[in-house]
Amino acid sequence: MLNHDYEEEKIRSMNIHIKIGIVIGYLAVTATFNASAGNLLPYVNPMVGTKSMGHTFPGACAPFGLVQLSPDTEMVPHNIGGIYQPDAYRYCTGYQYDDKTIVGFSHTHFNGTGHSDLGDILVMPATGEVKLDKGTAEHPESGYRSRFSHEHEKAEAGYYSVLLEDYGIRAEMTATERVGVHRYTFPKGTQTGHIVLDLNYGIYHYDGKVLMANVRVEDSCTLTGYRITRGWSRMNYTHFAVKFSKPITTYGCRNNEEVLYKGFWRRFDMTKNFPEMFGKHLTAYFEFDFSDGRPLEVQVAFSPVDCLGARKNLEAETGGKSFDEVRKATQAKWEKELGCIRIEADDDTKAVFYTALYHTMINPSVYQDVDGRYRGVDHNIHQAAEGQTNYTVFSVWDTFRAQHPLMNLIKPSRSVQFVHSMLNHYRQSVHHALPVWSHMGNENWCMIGYHSVSVVADALAKGLVVDKKLALDACINSSNLDYYDGIAEYKKLGYVPLERSGSAASVTLEYSYDDWAISELAKRMKVLDVEKEYAKRACSYRNIFDPLLGFARPKHQDGTFKKDFDLLDTHGQGFIEGNSWNYSFFVPHDVNGLMRLMGGEKRFVRRLDSLFTMRLPAKYFENTEDINEEGLIGNYVHGNEPSHHVPYLYKWTDEPWKSEARLHEIMRRMYRNRIDGLSGNDDCGQMSAWYIFSALGFYPVCPGTDQYVIGSPLVKEAIVQLENGKNFIVRTKHASAENVYVKSIRLNGLPYRKAYITHADILGGGEIEFEMCTRPNKKSAAYEKPYSMTKRE
Rank residues 531 and 641 by Cβ distance to a copy of itself and give the closer one: 641
Contact call for residue 113 and a copy of itself (CB under 8 A): no
Contact call for residue 431 and a copy of itself (CB under 8 A): yes
Cα angle, residue 390 at apex, residues 389 and 395 outer, rounded to 5°: 135
Contact call for residue 33 and a copy of itself (CB under 8 A): no
Contact call for residue 89 and a copy of itself (CB under 8 A): no
Contact call for residue 764 and a copy of itself (CB under 8 A): no
Contact call for residue 6 and a copy of itself (CB under 8 A): no
Contact call for residue 446 and a copy of itself (CB under 8 A): yes
> Are 553 and 580 contacting, i.e. CB atoms less than 8 angstroms apart?
yes
Contact call for residue 209 and a copy of itself (CB under 8 A): yes
Minimum CB–partner distance for residue 301 and a copy of itself (Å): 14
Give the strands of the sheet with 756-758, arranged side by side. Answer: 698-699, 707-710, 756-758
Residues in the chain: 793
Minimum CB–partner distance for residue 367 and a copy of itself (Å): 16
Minimum CB–partner distance for residue 411 and a copy of itself (Å): 30
Burial of 36 (0-12, 13-18, 19+ CB in 10 A): exposed
Minimum CB–partner distance for residue 381 and a copy of itself (Å): 5
Rank residues 234 and 536 by Cβ distance to a copy of itself and give the closer one: 234
Q: Which amino acid is at 406?
A: L
Contact call for residue 400 and a copy of itself (CB under 8 A): no
List binders of a copy of itself among 144-203 (CB under 8 A). none
Contact call for residue 216 and a copy of itself (CB under 8 A): yes
Binding residue (CB under 8 A) for a copy of itself from 24, 260, 618, 750: 260
Stretch that binds a copy of itself, among 150-158, 256-264, 451-459, 690-698 (CB under 8 A): 256-264
List binders of a copy of itself among 290-319 (CB under 8 A). 305-308
Cα–Cα separations (whole angstroms), residue 116 to 94, 208, 415, 444, 783? 8, 16, 25, 12, 45
Contact call for residue 723 and a copy of itself (CB under 8 A): no
Nearest alpha-carbon partner for 400 in 438, 454, 457: 454
Binding residue (CB under 8 A) for a copy of itself from 74, 156, 398, 485: 485
Rank residues 187 and 275 by Cβ distance to a copy of itself and give the closer one: 275
Rank residues 342 and 491 by Cβ distance to a copy of itself and give the closer one: 491
Cα angle, residue 446 at apex, residues 624 and 119 outer, rounded to 5°: 85
Binding residue (CB under 8 A) for a copy of itself from 232, 288, 620, 770: 232
Which residues, listed in sequence order, are joined to residue 300 by a DSSP beta bridge?
A: 180, 242
> Are 76 and 139 contacting, i.e. CB atoms less than 8 angstroms apart?
no
Stretch that binds a copy of itself, among 36-44, 242-250, 373-381, 763-771 (CB under 8 A): 373-381
Binding residue (CB under 8 A) for a copy of itself from 142, 273, 322, 623: 273
Contact call for residue 430 and a copy of itself (CB under 8 A): yes
Contact call for residue 747 and a copy of itself (CB under 8 A): no
- Between CA 517 and CA 233 the distance in angstroms is 28
Contact call for residue 141 and a copy of itself (CB under 8 A): no
Q: Which amino acid is at 88?
A: A
Rank residues 80 and 465 by Cβ distance to a copy of itself and give the closer one: 80
Minimum CB–partner distance for residue 56 and a copy of itself (Å): 22
Minimum CB–partner distance for residue 262 and a copy of itself (Å): 11
Which residues, listed in sequence order, are joined to residue 391 by a DSSP beta bridge?
A: 366
Nearest alpha-carbon partner for 410 in 35, 759, 772: 759
- Between CA 74 and CA 203 the distance in angstroms is 9
Q: Which amino acid is at 690?
A: W
Cα–Cα separations (whole angstroms), residue 317 to 66, 471, 722? 13, 33, 27
> Are 220 and 247 contacting, i.e. CB atoms less than 8 angstroms apart?
yes
Helix axes 403-410, 686-696, angle to 10 degrees: 60
> Are 561 and 554 contacting, i.e. CB atoms less than 8 angstroms apart?
yes
Q: Which amino acid is at 712?
A: S
Rank residues 436 and 719 by Cβ distance to a copy of itself and give the closer one: 436
Contact call for residue 466 and a copy of itself (CB under 8 A): no
> Are 146 and 167 contacting, i.e. CB atoms less than 8 angstroms apart?
yes
Nearest alpha-carbon partner for 685 in 111, 203, 250, 290: 111
Contact call for residue 87 and a copy of itself (CB under 8 A): no
Instruction: List phi, psi (to 5°) of 285.
Output: -140, 155
Stretch that binds a copy of itself, among 60-68, 128-136, 274-282, 459-467 (CB under 8 A): 274-282
Helix axes 504-524, 452-461, angle to 10 degrees: 30
Distance between alpha carbon 476 and the CA centroid of its chain, in Å? 26
Contact call for residue 247 and a copy of itself (CB under 8 A): no
Stretch that binds a copy of itself, among 272-280, 283-291, 456-464, 535-543 (CB under 8 A): 272-280
Contact call for residue 719 and a copy of itself (CB under 8 A): no
Instruction: Name every residue whose Cβ is closer than 8 Å to that of residue 337 and which is 6 or more positions away in sequence.
Output: 63, 361, 411
Minimum CB–partner distance for residue 614 and a copy of itself (Å): 32
Stretch that binds a copy of itself, among 207-215, 284-292, 675-683, 696-704 (CB under 8 A): 207-215
Residues that bind a copy of itself (CB under 8 A): 85, 204, 206, 208-209, 211-212, 214, 216-218, 224, 226, 228, 230-232, 234-235, 260-261, 263-264, 267-269, 273-276, 278, 305-308, 378-382, 430-431, 444-446, 483-485
